[in-house]
Amino acid sequence: MRIDLHTHSRVTDGTDTPTMLVMKAFQAGLDVIALTDHDTFDGVAEALEAGKRIGVKVLTGIELSCSLGGQVIHLLGYGCDVWNRALNEELAKVRVGRTQRLPEMCSRLREQGVEVTLDEVMSVAQGAPSIGRPHVADAMVAKGIVKDRQEAFDRYLAQDKPAYVPRYSIELGRAIDLVHEAKGVAVLAHPWGRGGREVLTAPVIERLTREHGLDGIETDHRDHDRDTRLLLFELGARLGLIRTGSSDYHGAKRPDRELGCFTTRKSAYLELVARIRARGGTA
Ligand code: AMP
Ligand code: MN
Ligand code: MN
Ligand code: MN
């Protein structure tokens, strides 16, 4: 059984429609995928429908933008009730904050001698309901300012770079509680990738497990080297956490993240499903 629990569609910063994503998952020999777009469930209904038609099990998912100690942390939610009110109110705040900072980002880029207009960003985003830095990066690529998204982040858009503008995100403990209130299961995304390691130390993960009932951690991910994956796997075992693995697929824009390049073991998936069902969520 091949299981990939972290993927994006063009509803946020991927490049495939949810349907195309499911077709590619089928082609890649995957039995189960979760669609985990950033801060929105907008693509889920289409993905579930396509999954039934094509014969790939699709799990309802989301990747929440959270914060802890001034650092941006991502949390995966699985099996949530997509209509849950408290969760949706927070998601709306995050999405508005994500888009509202675009003019400020454009003006900071201009200060750096980079001309990218809001219209150009909107045009490459092609109506995506949640527009963020990846779309700003795409506009820069389209104008030939940088060669790819990664260069745009490395030079201008990453958290410690000149055009970075912070935005509203959910405090991590509160985000775990919200996922649970929505009957879902909460898994830390790539906890030791991109600066996460400094704030998500082993004692902090232990505290989140004890105080908020964190359910799992994503151990096998492109942003973790081999040793990091092993250390996280061991830490998760010690804390009784579900340990997942996934591609974090974004379509054509990030070719290093092919569907199924990392996968979740069947036993971990079954434990995840059992927890979702025990909470009354959908799996
Ligand atoms: P935003 O929601 O506008 O803050 O952008 C966050 C998204 O940008 C993440 O979900 C990633 O897909 C992407 N991203 C963030 N940091 C980097 C980075 N250093 N390199 C490449 N992509 C990144
Ligand atoms: Mn992304
Ligand atoms: Mn992420
Ligand atoms: Mn992701």
In three-state form (DSSP H/G/I as H, E/B as E, the rest C), the secondary structure along the chain is CCEEEEECCCCCCCCCCHHHHHHHHHHCCCCEEEECCECCCCCHHHHHHHHHHHCCEEEEEEEEEEEECCEEEEEEEECCCCCCHHHHHHHHHHHHHHHHCHHHHHHHHHHCCCCCCHHHHHHHHCCCCCCCHHHHHHHHHHCCCCCCHHHHHHHHHCCCCCCCCCCCCEEHHHHHHHHHHCCCEEEECCCCCCCHHHHCCHHHHHHHHHHHCCCEEEEECCCCCHHHHHHHHHHHHHHCCEEEECCCECHHHCCCCCCCCCCCCHHHHHHHHHHHHHHCCCC
Q: Report, as an integer, the average pLDDT of 254-279.
A: 97
Counting from 1 in the atom list of ligand 1, the atom nearest the Cα of 248 is: 12
Q: What percent of the chain has pLDDT over 90?
A: 94
Q: What's the token pair of residue 102? A: 């675009």
First to last CA, the chain: 16
Mean pLDDT for all residues in the chain = 96
Q: Which of 133, 135, 194, 253 to mutate to test the pocket of ligand 1 (most atoms within 8 A of CB)?
A: 133
- Is the pLDDT at 129 greater than 90, yes or no? no
Ligand 2 mean position, distance from CA 56 (Å): 22
pLDDT of residue 174: 98
The residue whose two tokens read 């590619």 is: 24
Measured in Å, residue 277 CA sits from the centre of ligand 1 at 32
Neighbouring residues of 85: CB distance < 8 A, sequence distance ≥ 6: none
**Which ligand 1 atom is the nearest neighbour of the CA of 158?**
19
pLDDT digit string (tens) for 182-211?
999 999 999 999 889 999 999 999 999 999
For the CA of 132, the nearest ligand: 1
Location of structure tokens 């092609």: 126
Residues 69-85: pLDDT tens digits?
Answer: 989 999 999 999 999 99
Atom of ligand 1 nearest to the CA of 74: 10
Distance 144 CA to ligand 4 centre (A): 25
pLDDT (0 to 100) of residue 63 = 98
pLDDT, tens digit, 9 for 90 and up, residues 211-264: 999 999 999 999 999 999 999 999 999 999 999 999 999 999 888 999 999 999
Q: Report pTM.
A: 0.95
pLDDT above 90: residue 133: yes
Residue 281, pLDDT above cutoff 90: yes
Q: What pLDDT, on the 0 to 100 scale, is given for residue 130? A: 79
Backbone angles phi, psi at 59, to 5 degrees: -100, 135
Is the shortest distance between the CB of 165 and ligand 1 below 6 Å?
Answer: no
